[in-house]
């Protein structure tokens, strides 16, 4: 095994030189000759019949090339796909443009194609639509009560699917409990808000029978497969390219109406067509995250040992399923054990159709909900039993020796050491000192809060999911790496080069990583679920290993020694005991090309490909500690300090890991304090622009003190767990627990997110402050 020089090193990103010069190529930066622009007319109503649609005036506008509507496309483009491995799943037909009726405000009703952007938008105003409004189902709990209007008439109710899991004797656990602690929890809908909105460019070359679709996507290969199906083409007639992508966070892990629509328009109009989503469209018609309302109950002994847990939750699906919509709530169920030994668990998920945009994967995708539930209830247990929040957690942690740790949700956590991460975080935060400071400040009428979150998450899918990697040593001695991963900011052009550099002894600058183009990379799954390095990186690693071994075969032939008599170090094969008798890997590459030498059993060419399917998920974990101060006069929450100890197994590039954690933590903070997609009872979006939807800004954010433990994952040879979503999963509960801790003197036991100053102020006004120093 070569000595690691590059893996683990703080390496500047290879991606950056063009991006810092403004030379990135995002979809809207690509312009093709003869290109047309598409604008979409969207329903202003959440639930309505389309009585009449008159696009004549729009069609007549100079510069407009075509206008199309749902009914014309019904038998031309298939309905949008969803994952369907739940037998209770109801799948309403989801057309690319509404046919007959609209089911959410923002659903596409017509598409205009014009010579330029402005004309396309002008034409939208000329389309006249007559709607007849229908009763709106906005609240997911109300959607499932008998008597609620039913959104999709092909079904008898609004239950989209149900998912249940039970293990252990739950009834007995609750009977034996010294205390049962209950809490109702709301996970508000979130808008992912990648700074680049969605964007699609499509071009058809009839002579080559090739449809090329550039899309701001996280899953070019999966998208290609679905587009071929939707447009009734052969898969090899479709090429999908994810150029530079300005953020995804899960919202671009999908197959959207506009992608199929633009493909169809390119095929029929024979000119390239481009659609760039406006931000107001993005908040309406790009998937939302979270959206769960649940009640958790936990049965505990008086020493806080957890005996059992019950969770009943309603997931707000929206009007239609998008690609992974039904897969998200079950992830919550699977991770409800958190970091604790809970022998008996019962989980019931009911998913409700509502007249809103679909929910789907958003950074964490079901796991932030789980971490929030378990970390809130653990704090509530500590509160009710009047025990310390740290002690309660420690009491229920599995020991480091008990891994793989089997949960009552059917999972086996790969590796973990929760005590170590917790201990490190407490030390980093000077926890005891913070508690003393809290007591002192309370006696002076100031409210400091300290919130803990000990989290674990599930990622790097996983069994049934694979990733492709190919490593090619060129005759020039340079290396090209091909990956099915599709990074959009995560830096794999750098981290994969680091992995290959160590395996082949080739300089980083001589390694190029290619991804995001289905014509250049034959297969792949994409970047989501924190898997690019933990799965994609391993495929690349194995491919590099194979290239090294092929090079060894060639070297042994060229040097006329047995392969076993060769030592590989620093990119050189040398004969044992005769160090001068050696060949560099570059020399081998050149020789292999020049002589066409294919000695013995070695296949020609110094390239190898590998498809890696992990045997298990991986389970990153950590402890976050957040310190806040509340001003009861204004409700203002100031985050004074933030500490995070996270464990992602082996670290390839510490700079990239820090970046993922920082970005993730701030998104989790956004959920806790600022964000929330709000629909009113008429299904109207109240948070329809960035003026109302509170994306965190640079001010009011603390410095994040990050530290690590490194517990390798046994799932892959490099021990990588993945880190893309862990920050978001760990942070939200830490912040909420901190605010509630601060308000304990006011008798507050729970507040739903987002924790706005208005909510805090109201609680402080309505409650009597406990006597100074009342709570330990």
The yes or no reply on residue 691 touching other proteins (CB under 8 A) is yes
The yes or no reply on residue 701 touching other proteins (CB under 8 A) is yes
Residues 55-84 that bind other proteins (CB under 8 A): 61-62
Question: Which residue number, 311 or 642, has a Cβ lying nearer to other proteins?
Answer: 642
CA distance 350 to 317: 10
In 3D space, the residue among 743, 81, 33, 25 whose CA is nearest the CA of residue 438 turns out to be 743
| Choices 12-20, 431-439, 537-545, 732-740 (CB under 8 A): range interacting with other proteins | 12-20
Contact assessment for residue 642 and residue 702, using Cβ atoms and an 8 Å cutoff: yes
Residues 207-246 that bind other proteins (CB under 8 A): 244-246
The yes or no reply on residue 655 touching other proteins (CB under 8 A) is yes
Query: Residue 131's CB: how many other CB atoms inside 10 A?
Result: 18
Which of 38, 666, 672, 729 binds other proteins (CB under 8 A)? It is: 666
Complete DSSP assignment for 577-599: TEEEEEEEHHHHHHHHHHH----
Which of 337, 354, 618, 667 binds other proteins (CB under 8 A)? It is: 667
The yes or no reply on residue 21 touching other proteins (CB under 8 A) is yes
CA distance 728 to 153: 38
Question: Which residue number, 465 or 674, has a Cβ lying nearer to other proteins?
Answer: 674
Question: Which residue number, 272 or 416, has a Cβ lying nearer to other proteins?
Answer: 272
Q: Which long-range contacts (CB under 8 A, 24 or more apart) does 613-616 make?
A: 613/463, 613/464, 613/465, 613/466, 614/460, 614/461, 614/462, 614/463, 614/465, 614/534, 614/535, 614/538, 614/715, 614/716, 615/463, 615/715, 616/404, 616/412, 616/414, 616/462, 616/463, 616/715
The yes or no reply on residue 16 touching other proteins (CB under 8 A) is yes
Question: Which residue number, 404 or 659, has a Cβ lying nearer to other proteins?
Answer: 659
The yes or no reply on residue 406 touching other proteins (CB under 8 A) is no
Please tell me the count of residues contacting other proteins according to CB under 8 A: 59
Residues 108-137 that bind other proteins (CB under 8 A): 117-118
The yes or no reply on residue 416 touching other proteins (CB under 8 A) is no
The yes or no reply on residue 22 touching other proteins (CB under 8 A) is yes
In 3D space, the residue among 599, 723, 734 whose CA is nearest the CA of residue 668 turns out to be 734
Phi, psi (rounded to 5 degrees) for 182: -120, 150
Least distance (Å) from other proteins to the CB of residue 544?
25
CA distance 239 to 212: 5
Least distance (Å) from other proteins to the CB of residue 223?
18
Residue 759 CB contacts under 8 Å (≥ 6 apart), including other chains: 635, 751, 752
Bridge partners, 559 (sequence order):
none
Residues 472-501 that bind other proteins (CB under 8 A): 488-491
Question: Which residue number, 194 or 499, has a Cβ lying nearer to other proteins?
Answer: 194
The yes or no reply on residue 23 touching other proteins (CB under 8 A) is yes
Contact assessment for residue 654 and residue 10, using Cβ atoms and an 8 Å cutoff: yes
Contact assessment for residue 456 and residue 397, using Cβ atoms and an 8 Å cutoff: no
Query: Which letter does DSSP use for residue 771 in this model?
Result: P
The yes or no reply on residue 704 touching other proteins (CB under 8 A) is yes
Least distance (Å) from other proteins to the CB of residue 282?
9
Query: Residue 283's CB: how many other CB atoms inside 10 A?
Result: 24
Least distance (Å) from other proteins to the CB of residue 499?
18
Which of 127, 194, 223, 544 binds other proteins (CB under 8 A)? It is: 194
Quote the tokens at residue 23: 């030379």
In 3D space, the residue among 306, 486, 330, 320 whose CA is nearest the CA of residue 410 turns out to be 330
* Pairing relationship of beta strands 621-631 and 447-456 according to DSSP bridges: antiparallel
| Choices 179-187, 257-265, 590-598, 690-698 (CB under 8 A): range interacting with other proteins | 690-698
Which of 2, 15, 113, 424 binds other proteins (CB under 8 A)? It is: 15
Which of 71, 423, 475, 659 binds other proteins (CB under 8 A)? It is: 659
CA distance 192 to 362: 6
The yes or no reply on residue 698 touching other proteins (CB under 8 A) is yes
In 3D space, the residue among 624, 708, 616 whose CA is nearest the CA of residue 372 turns out to be 624
Least distance (Å) from other proteins to the CB of residue 247?
4
Question: Which residue number, 172 or 280, has a Cβ lying nearer to other proteins?
Answer: 280
* Pairing relationship of beta strands 511-515 and 479-483 according to DSSP bridges: parallel
Residues 271-290 that bind other proteins (CB under 8 A): 276, 278-280
CA distance 383 to 377: 9
Least distance (Å) from other proteins to the CB of residue 116?
8
Question: Which residue number, 220 or 663, has a Cβ lying nearer to other proteins?
Answer: 663
Least distance (Å) from other proteins to the CB of residue 126?
9
CA distance 144 to 152: 13
Least distance (Å) from other proteins to the CB of residue 405?
30
Question: Which residue number, 62 or 234, has a Cβ lying nearer to other proteins?
Answer: 62
Query: Residue 154's CB: how many other CB atoms inside 10 A?
Result: 9
| Choices 24-32, 292-300, 464-472, 475-483 (CB under 8 A): range interacting with other proteins | 24-32
Q: Which long-range contacts (CB under 8 A, 24 or more apart) does 151-155 make?
A: 151/47, 151/92, 151/103, 151/319, 151/353, 151/354, 151/355, 152/90, 152/92, 152/103, 152/353, 154/92, 155/90, 155/92
Question: Which residue number, 488 or 542, has a Cβ lying nearer to other proteins?
Answer: 488
Least distance (Å) from other proteins to the CB of residue 277?
10
Least distance (Å) from other proteins to the CB of residue 114?
13
Question: Which residue number, 20 or 391, has a Cβ lying nearer to other proteins?
Answer: 20
Which of 8, 71, 168, 247 binds other proteins (CB under 8 A)? It is: 247
- In the complex, the residues that contact other proteins under the rule CB under 8 A are 12-13, 15-17, 19-24, 26, 28-29, 31, 61-62, 117-118, 192-197, 244-247, 249, 276, 278-280, 488-491, 655-656, 658-659, 662-667, 689-691, 695-699, 701, 703-704
């Amino acid at each position: 095994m070569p000595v690691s020089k590059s893996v683990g090193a703080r390496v500047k990103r290879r991606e950056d030189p063009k991006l810092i010069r403004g030379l990135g190529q995002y979809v809207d930066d690509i312009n093709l000759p003869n290109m047309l622009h598409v604008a979409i007319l969207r329903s202003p109503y959440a639930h309505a019949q389309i009585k009449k649609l008159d696009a004549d005036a729009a069609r007549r506008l100079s510069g407009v090339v075509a206008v199309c509507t749902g009914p014309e496309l019904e038998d031309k483009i298939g309905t949008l796909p969803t994952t369907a491995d739940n037998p209770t799943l109801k799948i309403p037909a989801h057309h690319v443009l509404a046919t007959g009726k609209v089911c959410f405000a923002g659903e596409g009703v017509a598409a205009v194609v014009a010579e330029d952007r402005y004309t396309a938008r002008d034409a939208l105003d000329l389309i006249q639509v007559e709607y007849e409004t229908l009763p709106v189902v906005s609240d997911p709990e109300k959607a499932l009560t008998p008597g609620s209007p039913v959104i999709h008439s092909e079904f008898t109710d609004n239950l989209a699917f149900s998912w249940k899991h039970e293990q252990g004797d739950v009834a007995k656990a609750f009977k034996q409990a010294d205390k049962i602690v209950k809490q109702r929890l709301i996970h508000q809908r979130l808008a992912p808000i990648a700074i680049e909105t969605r964007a699609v460019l499509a071009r058809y070359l009839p002579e080559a029978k090739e449809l090329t679709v550039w899309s701001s996507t996280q899953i070019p290969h999966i998208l290609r497969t679905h587009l071929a199906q939707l447009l009734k083409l052969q898969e090899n007639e479709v090429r999908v390219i994810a150029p530079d992508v300005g953020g995804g966070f899960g919202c671009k892990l999908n197959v959207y109406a506009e992608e199929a629509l633009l493909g169809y328009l390119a095929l029929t109009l024979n000119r390239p067509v481009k659609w760039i989503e406006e931000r107001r469209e993005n908040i309406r018609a790009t998937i939302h995250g979270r959206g769960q309302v649940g009640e958790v109950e936990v049965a505990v002994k008086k020493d806080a040992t957890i005996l059992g847990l019950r969770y009943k939750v309603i997931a707000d699906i929206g009007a239609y399923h998008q690609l992974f919509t039904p897969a998200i709530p079950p992830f919550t169920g699977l991770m409800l054990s958190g970091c604790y030994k809970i022998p008996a668990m019962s989980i019931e998920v009911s998913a409700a159709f509502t007249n809103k945009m679909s929910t789907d994967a958003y950074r964490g995708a079901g796991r932030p909900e789980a971490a929030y539930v378990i970390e809130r209830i653990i704090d509530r247990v500590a509160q009710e039993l009047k025990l310390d929040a740290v002690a309660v957690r420690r009491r229920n942690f599995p020991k480091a020796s008990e891994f793989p740790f089997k949960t009552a949700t059917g999972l086996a956590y790969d590796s973990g050491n929760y005590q170590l991460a917790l201990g490190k975080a407490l030390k980093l935060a000077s926890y005891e000192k913070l508690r003393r400071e809290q007591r002192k400040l309370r006696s002076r009428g100031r409210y400091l809060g300290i919130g803990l979150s000990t989290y674990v998450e599930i990622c790097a899918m996983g069994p049934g999911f694979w990733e492709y990697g190919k490593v090619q040593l060129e005759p020039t001695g340079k290396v090209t790496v091909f990956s099915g991963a599709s990074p959009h900011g995560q830096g794999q052009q750098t981290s994969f080069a680091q992995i290959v550099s160590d395996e082949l002894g080739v300089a980083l600058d001589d390694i190029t990583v290619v991804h995001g183009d289905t014509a250049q990379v034959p297969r792949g799954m994409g970047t989501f679920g924190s898997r690019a390095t933990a799965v994609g990186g391993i495929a690349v690693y194995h491919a590099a290993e194979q290239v090294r071994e092929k090079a060894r075969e060639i070297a042994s032939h060229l040097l006329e020694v047995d392969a076993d008599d060769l030592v590989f170090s620093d990119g050189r094969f040398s004969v044992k005991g005769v160090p001068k008798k050696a060949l560099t890997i570059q020399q081998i590459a050149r020789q292999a090309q020049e002589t066409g030498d294919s000695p013995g059993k070695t296949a020609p060419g110094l390239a190898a490909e590998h498809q890696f399917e992990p045997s298990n998920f991986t389970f990153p974990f950590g402890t976050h500690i957040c310190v806040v101060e509340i001003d009861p006069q204004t409700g203002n929450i100031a985050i004074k300090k933030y500490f995070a100890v996270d464990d992602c197994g082996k670290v390839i590039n510490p700079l990239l890991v820090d970046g993922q954690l920082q970005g993730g933590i701030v998104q989790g903070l956004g959920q806790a304090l600022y964000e929330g997609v709000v629909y009113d009872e008429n299904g109207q979006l109240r948070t329809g622009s960035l003026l109302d939807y509170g994306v965190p800004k640079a001010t009011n954010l603390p410095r994040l003190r990050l530290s690590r433990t490194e517990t390798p994952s046994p799932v892959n040879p490099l021990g990588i767990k993945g880190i893309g979503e862990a920050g978001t999963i760990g942070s939200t509960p830490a912040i909420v627990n901190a605010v509630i801790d601060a308000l304990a003197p006011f008798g507050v036991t729970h507040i739903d997110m987002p924790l706005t100053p208005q909510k805090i102020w109201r609680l402080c006004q309505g409650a009597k402050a406990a006597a100074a120093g009342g709570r330990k």
